């Protein structure tokens, strides 16, 4: 047997005695089998009276330290000592020094958006926040005092579009931008993004605008109907074919009408076109402002809620759960807004049905 001195103890750090199962410590008296090199506590060796691997002697057996202990002694295979700050090229996978901007192997840019880091005990991973995938922004970039990774966890859907936009608005202190979803889908877009206060505001503006714009349009239709009643007979029994035939006859004789009657008809027709355009425009006027200020309103709400959640959450896991719950999108809210506007549209149709 061979006794190991304190100077050689590091050979057996994190190694368990094969007899008692206890790890060797710096003050232990370690006995090593001269045949195979298996280490034992002296007391365990003396209790057994032999090497526990004696049955394997003669078969070229040699004791080896477990992999998690390898690398401490300089013998055997080296331990995995990958630098946790190393940057991994997203193109070729080569390890690059932490301050490198261009991969020395393939020349790919290693800017903030393309950096991939090795986490402790893990393979390469860009960021623990799955919502940063496709977001070409540094996860630690600030947006009005919050991190881009926090904003991505809140935005979730289409974070790749919104996070860079929010970063730019924060840097330049901008309030105006252009949001096509806000233009074509407001007020539904606000409810879809859970911006309920703004959604209610723009929904109210849209409803009021449509209701008020429908009044002069209906009056113009009434005037036009009254004038046309002199030329086209229209009753509850009039069929579509009869109406079309009478209208074609009216158009054919339009040039023969007295000048005064033609001028009056043209005036009412222009009013119908004008108020019809106003009715359509009343829907898109609120949408225009929603498109201009939508991103700013969304960013402001997001920053306020994330700061509130950060003050409440005691760890990143709790914050992420809160952000996923409060943020994201709501198809149900958007559907409810759509149904409400559809109901209003049907009410206006009924209103015009009395024309």
**pLDDT value of position 46:** 85
Helix, strand, or coil here: 96? Answer: strand
Both tokens assigned to 229: 């009643």
Query: 278-307, pLDDT tens digit by residue?
Result: 888 887 889 999 999 999 999 999 999 999
Q: Could you tell me which of 78, 130, 153, 95 has the C-alpha nearest to residue 321?
A: 153
**pLDDT value of position 101:** 59
**pLDDT value of position 102:** 57
Give the confidence band of 74 by pLDDT, cuts at 50, 70, 90.
Answer: very low
Sequence ranges of the domains in the chain: 2-56, 87-155, 180-353
Query: 317-351, pLDDT tens digit by residue?
Result: 788 888 888 999 999 999 999 998 888 878 877 76
Tally of CB atoms within 10 A around 192: 22
Q: Quick one: fold of 2-56?
A: Herpes Virus-1 (3.30.40)
**pLDDT value of position 104:** 61
314 pLDDT above the threshold of 90 = no
Judge whether 314 and 242 are in contact, CB under 8 Å. no
Query: 229-277, pLDDT tens digit by residue?
Result: 888 877 777 787 887 888 888 888 888 888 888 888 889 889 889 988 8
Burial classification of residue 61, based on how many CB atoms lie within 10 Å of its CB (0-12 exposed, 13-18 middle, 19 or more buried): middle
**pLDDT value of position 21:** 79
Query: 121-178, pLDDT tens digit by residue?
Result: 333 333 446 788 888 888 889 999 999 999 999 999 999 999 999 999 999 999 999 9
Judge whether 292 and 174 are in contact, CB under 8 Å. no
Name residues whose C-beta falls within 8 Å of residue 43's C-beta, 6 or more positions apart in sequence: 29
**pLDDT value of position 122:** 34
- DSSP bridge pairs for 31: 3, 40
Q: Could you tell me which of 98, 67, 105 has the C-alpha nearest to residue 82?
A: 98
């Amino acid at each position: 047997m061979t006794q190991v001195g304190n100077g050689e103890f590091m050979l057996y750090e994190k190694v368990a005695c094969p007899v008692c199962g206890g790890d060797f410590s710096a003050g232990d008296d370690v006995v090593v089998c001269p045949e195979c090199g298996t280490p034992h506590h002296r007391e365990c060796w003396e209790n057994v009276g032999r090497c526990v691997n004696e049955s394997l002697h003669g078969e070229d057996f040699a004791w080896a330290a477990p992999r998690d202990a390898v690398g401490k002694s300089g013998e055997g295979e080296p331990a995995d000592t990958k630098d946790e700050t190393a940057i991994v090229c997203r193109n070729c996978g080569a390890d690059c020094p932490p301050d490198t901007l261009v991969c020395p192997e393939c020349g790919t840019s290693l800017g903030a958006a393309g950096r991939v880091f090795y986490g402790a005990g893990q393979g390469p991973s860009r960021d623990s926040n799955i919502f940063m995938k496709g977001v070409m922004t540094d996860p630690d970039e600030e947006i009005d005092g919050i991190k881009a990774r926090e904003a991505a966890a809140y935005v979730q859907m289409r974070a790749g579009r919104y996070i860079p936009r929010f970063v730019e608005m924060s840097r330049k202190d901008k309030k105006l931008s252009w949001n096509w979803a806000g233009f074509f889908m407001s007020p539904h877009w606000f409810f879809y993004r859970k911006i309920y206060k703004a959604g209610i505001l723009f929904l109210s503006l849209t409803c009021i605008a449509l209701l008020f714009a429908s009044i002069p349009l209906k009056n113009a239709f009434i005037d036009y109907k009254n004038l046309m009643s002199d030329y086209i007979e229209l009753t509850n029994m009039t069929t579509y074919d009869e109406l079309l035939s009478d209208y074609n006859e009216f158009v054919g004789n339009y040039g023969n009408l007295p000048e005064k009657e033609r001028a009056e008809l043209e005036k009412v027709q222009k009013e119908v076109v004008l108020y019809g355009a106003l009715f359509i425009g009343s829907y898109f006027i609120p949408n225009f402002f929603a498109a201009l200020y939508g991103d700013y309103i969304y960013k402001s709400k997001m920053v306020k809620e994330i700061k509130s959640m950060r003050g409440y959450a005691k760890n990143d896991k709790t914050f992420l759960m809160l952000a996923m719950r409060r943020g994201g999108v709501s198809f149900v809210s958007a559907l409810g807004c759509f149904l409400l506007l559809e109901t209003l549209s049907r009410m206006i149709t009924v209103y015009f049905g009395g024309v």
